[in-house]
Amino acid sequence: EQPLLQVEQLTKYFTAKSGPFWRKNQVKAVQDVSFSIHEGETYGLVGESGSGKSTTGRTLLRLTEPTSGRACFQNQDIFTLRGREIQALRREMQMIFQDPLSSLDPNKRVGYSIAEPLAIHGQGSRHERHERVLELLSRVGLAARHADRFPHEFSGGQRQRIGIAKALALQPKLMICDEPVSALDVSIQSQILNLLIELQAEYGLSYLFVSHDLSVVRHIADRIGVMYLGHLVEQAPTDELFARPLHPYTQFLLSAIPAPHPKLKRERILLQGDIPSPANPPSGCVFYTRCPYVMDVCKQIKPAAMELSQEHSVQCHLYHDELRAETILN
């Protein structure tokens, strides 16, 4: 079955000015990232801030232009679309932001903001749009009277519900959720995650769910990709990734989250140093400056992605040597 979205070798470089002489630096934000998302599936992208996960999401919506690579969405090559075609793409693909205020006009009643995408795409009469707003509000758990209020009158959780209602207005196929619960209290986080899960079941939505928080991603994702310095270093189905993390960076991330049961507690792994600058990434394996298992080859040769079992792939030289891999896996 053809995936809804297939991303191949996505690469994005920025030019940034920095340093004492305001030198121009090339920032390698995303490097050869490949993954796919099937209909009705949630793909989680995790990594520290600056790992390239938001940039990956933004290139797919053409909010920022990729340097190279391909992305096929519903049999269309996203990166070759122009003008009106990009508008049409944004009907099918919507974004939910960490701060819903960024998609809501503070001076407009939220009913107006939710109806805005419908108005822009010329859908329905004024009356029909109003009806649709009330329906969307109820779908995200808010009363109809809220349509006449302003964004500042709502709590963070309610505002995220409004952001979701607005993103749903055009009945998209894919939602790109960029840290949608990171600004919320833990109890509110699970309410919003559960709402997203319900909406997915109801509308057959697919999600690209971007987060720095592995325990949040675990709650919602079917499959997870782990990013480090612009590279997708490992990907696997969620349960598989938690049961058998292969990349040393993934093992580090997992060791840092609280275990659901003391028996399952992992020993905390500590890393040397800080994450290097994406303007000056290490040669060879991007993780070598911090990896507890670093070998000579790691400093020179970038490890290719290896598929070790179905749907589980990793970019690490440890697994290129079969014997060595076996001892690590057992």
- Contact yes or no for 207/175 (Cβ under 8 A): yes
Q: At its nearest, how many Å lie between ligand SF4 and the CB of residue 126?
A: 57
Task: Give the bridge partners for 26, in sequence order.
Answer: 15
- If the CB atoms of residues 54 and 158 are measured against Mg ion, the closer one turns out to be 54
Give me the DSSP letters along 209-255: EEES-HHHHHHH-SEEEEEETTEEEEEEEHHHHHHS--SHHHHHHHH
The entry of Mg ion, ligand SF4, none that residue 114 binds, CB within 5 to 8 Å by partner kind: none
Residue 299 CB neighbour total at 10 angstroms: 13
- If the CB atoms of residues 142 and 177 are measured against Mg ion, the closer one turns out to be 177
Q: At its nearest, how many Å lie between ligand SF4 and the CB of residue 108?
A: 49
Name the token pair of 201.
């079941």
Tell me the H-state helices in 33-185.
53-60, 83-92, 110-120, 126-139, 156-168
Stretch touching ligand SF4 by CB under 6 A, among 93-101, 171-179, 268-276, 287-295: 287-295
Instruction: Single out the residue of 295, 305, 308, 328 in contact with ligand SF4 (rule: CB under 6 A).
Output: 295
Q: At its nearest, how many Å lie between Mg ion and the CB of residue 192?
A: 17
The entry of Mg ion, ligand SF4, none that residue 54 binds, CB within 5 to 8 Å by partner kind: Mg ion
The count of residues interacting with ligand SF4 (CB under 6 A) is 14
Say if residue 78 is exposed, middle or buried (CB neighbours under 10 Å; 0-12, 13-18, 19+).
buried
**Which x/- pattern, by CB under 6 A, does the window 241-270 give for ligand SF4?**
------xx----------------------
Instruction: Single out the residue of 31, 51, 54, 158 in contact with Mg ion (rule: CB under 5 A).
Output: 54
- If the CB atoms of residues 146 and 247 are measured against ligand SF4, the closer one turns out to be 247
- Contact yes or no for 184/132 (Cβ under 8 A): no
- If the CB atoms of residues 42 and 54 are measured against Mg ion, the closer one turns out to be 54
Name the token pair of 307.
């598929």
- If the CB atoms of residues 66 and 248 are measured against ligand SF4, the closer one turns out to be 248
Contacts of 237-243 spanning 24+ positions with Cβ under 8 A: 237/311, 237/312, 238/44, 240/309, 240/311, 240/312, 241/312, 242/218
Instruction: Single out the residue of 46, 298, 313, 325 in contact with ligand SF4 (rule: CB under 6 A).
Output: 298
The residues that touch Mg ion, with contacts defined as CB under 5 A, are: 54
The residues that touch ligand SF4, with contacts defined as CB under 6 A, are: 247-248, 285, 287-288, 291, 293-295, 298, 303, 316-318
